[in-house]
Every structure is written in C-alpha cells, then in structure tokens.
Amino acid sequence: MDLQSVVQEAVAPRPKVARPIVMVGSGGIARDAHLPAYAKAGFPVAAIVDLDREQAEALAKRFGIPYVASTIGEAVAYAPADAVFDVTVPAPALTTVLAQLPDGVPALLQKPMGETLAEATEILRLCRTKGLTAAVNFQLRWAPNMLAARALHATGALGEIHDMEVKISTHQPWELWSFLATAPRLEILYHSIHYVDLVRSWFGNPLGVWAKTVRSPTTPDLAATKSVIVLDYGDSKRVFITTNHSHGFHPKRQESFVQWQGMDGAMRAQMGVNLDYPKGKPDTFEHILRGDTEWSESPVRGNWFPDAFMGSMGSLQAFVQGEATMLPTSVEDAIDTMRTVEAAYLSSERGGVALPELGW
C-alpha cells in the first residue's frame, strides 16, 4: 500500500453543489478564516450582517458579498430559501441570534457552544425546539494534516493507538481578542477546547477528566492561560493535553503538535498557526512505522487556518443535502465536548489529592 498517496488524498466532505451562505458577524474570525476558506472552496456567500455596518461593508467589498444587513431580520428577509447561516458571533450572543433564525434552517455555530455547560444546554434546547440542523465549528477535525492522520490510521499500519498527546508551548497574543480581557474562563474554553474535541473524535467520551488550569505571571490580568488536561480512557491509553501560551522566547523551542502512538507506528501533526500567530507557519505531517530508520514527512493540502473551515461548512452542507450520512460536529455531539470542558474546570477547581499523612 502506498501510504504517501493515502495521506495526500485525504479530503474533507463537501457538497456537490454548494448552498448560499449568510454570514452573521463580521469580526476577525470571519475575516481571517471563514471568508477566505469559502472563497478558496468556491462556496457562495449571499449576505453578511453585523451591527457594525461599516465593518460588514468592508468585508463585503473585499470578498464580493452582494448584500449587507444591519439586523438579523433584514438578513433573514433577504436570504435565499436554501441558505445556510454561518453564525460567527461571540458565545454569549448565540442564543439571541439563534432565536431570530427561521425554524428548520441549517446553521454553523462558532465555538465555543456557550461559555458554560448551562449555556450549551440552552443552545442545544433551542436548536431542538426550532428544528435547526446545527453544527459547531470545531474545525480542527477537518485540518488537512488531521485528515491525513485519520486516513493513515484507517489503513491499519499503525496498529492500535494507545497514546495521544497534544503539546502547545508558544506565545499567544491574547490582546488580539479584546473580549477575552474580562472573560472568567479563557484557555480551556477558547483554545484547548479544540484539542478536547479532537481527542473525542478519536476515542469518544472519556471516563473522567483530571485538569489544572492556571494564570501566567506574564498576563496577570487575564484568566488562566496555561493548562494540563488528562483524559481517562482506561488503563491502556495515555491521553493528555498540555498548553503554555506564554513561552515567548526564541521560537526554536516553541512547540505545537498532536502525536499519536500505536503498536506498530507513530505519527505527528504540527499545527503551524500557533507558531508566530497570526501569521503562523506551515502545518506538517510525518509518521514512522516499526522497522523504519527515520520519520517520513508527507505533503499536506493546506493548513488549519483557513482550510479546515472549508470542512466545517462542507460537512454541514453535504449532510443537509443528503450526500453525507453523518454530521460529526452536530450540536448533539458538541454538547459532549462542552461536558468534557466543564469537567476539566470542575477538576481544576476541586484540586488534586492531598498528600497522605505518615502513619506515625
């Protein structure tokens, strides 16, 4: 079997004919990821809506969007009958926006699915009540190198996977997101949630979670920005996530990767966007099989940003049109990612086991 071909041919699902998209929100994530991805994929964007009309008009001009609205009502009135709503507003605004969408429409929601499990539960209830076909934009699953990892594993070449680790040791310019300055929850909810969701996509829900998330003295005014999360998948798997976003020294020792180890081989995917954010470095993918003398690197078709965002929207559209049988990041699945995140915060708050007293 030609493993290089298997890796290079891994692609995200997409519809045969793309539906028009209505963008709700014109912030940085829409500008830097959603809209560039849709332009690259050839997904048509019919309208964009934002309270900041000037900002929305600037994006409309840049990406050739024909209609700009200032309210959800205007956007809904203009939207084609088969439109997909891409909701890129901050988490606290999700319920307000969803309540204004027509019943039964498809919608892609920006992560996180609320800021707490209670908010996520309300979002799930609202989606069910309105009959929305809704997915959450946990797009890391669709990054080209993550698709490559999935494809390689599917060949059986690695054997049973018994170890998965995510390591981030970089400098993150949190000041780019002004709303995070007052966020009570930060690192796990807004960053490591991607890795929690990725782990779940491989192994399902964990039996339990141990975690500690702490502040960094380099950003004392922010909530916790460094975390360790251990996910319990029994006594034969080691699965953990470790993140330090305040390693602002020479990039030689900065790291951003996911690594899997199987009985017969291992693979590693570098997430370049975390290195020198927001410019980033290229994503990479490499693997080694038992008996090999060195790691083999395979070319990948693009990077997490913006290419993975094609997968999030493409997956939703393919499902809505009956061209895919599963919607992997549906709100019904995403609620379990939110439950896992909540468990991590609860574990961090409750603390570890105190040292036992000596018996004398």
Question: Which CATH number do you get for residue 255?
Answer: 3.30.360.10
For the entire predicted model, the pTM comes to: 0.97
Q: Do residues 109 and 231 share a domain?
A: no
The 3-state DSSP class for residue 63 equals helix
Tokens, residue 21: 């998209």
Tokens, residue 183: 């966020």
The three-state DSSP-derived secondary structure of 205-234 is: CCCEEEEEEECCCCCCCCCCCEEEEEEECC
In a domain, residue 271? The reply is yes
Q: Do residues 170 and 145 share a domain?
A: yes
In this prediction, residue 83 carries a pLDDT of 98
In a domain, residue 240? The reply is yes
Per-residue pLDDT of the chain (360 residues; tens, 9 = 90+): 788 888 888 899 999 999 999 999 999 999 999 999 999 999 999 999 999 999 999 999 999 999 999 999 999 999 999 999 999 999 999 999 999 999 999 999 999 999 999 999 999 999 999 999 999 999 999 999 999 999 999 999 999 999 999 999 999 999 988 889 999 999 999 999 999 999 999 999 999 999 999 999 999 999 999 999 999 999 999 999 999 999 999 999 999 999 999 999 999 999 999 999 888 999 999 999 999 999 999 999 899 999 999 999 999 999 999 999 999 999 999 999 999 999 999 999 999 999 999 998
Range of the domain at 261: 141-304
118-123 long-range contacts, CB within 8 A, separation 24+: 119/91, 119/92, 119/94, 119/95, 120/334, 120/335, 120/338, 121/335, 122/95, 123/94, 123/95, 123/98, 123/331
Say how many Å lie between the first and final Cα of the chain, rounded: 63
Domain CATH code at residue 34: 3.40.50.720
In a domain, residue 110? The reply is yes
CB 16 within 8 A of CB 320: no
Tokens, residue 339: 């439950």
The 3-state DSSP class for residue 313 equals helix
Structural domain count of the chain: 2
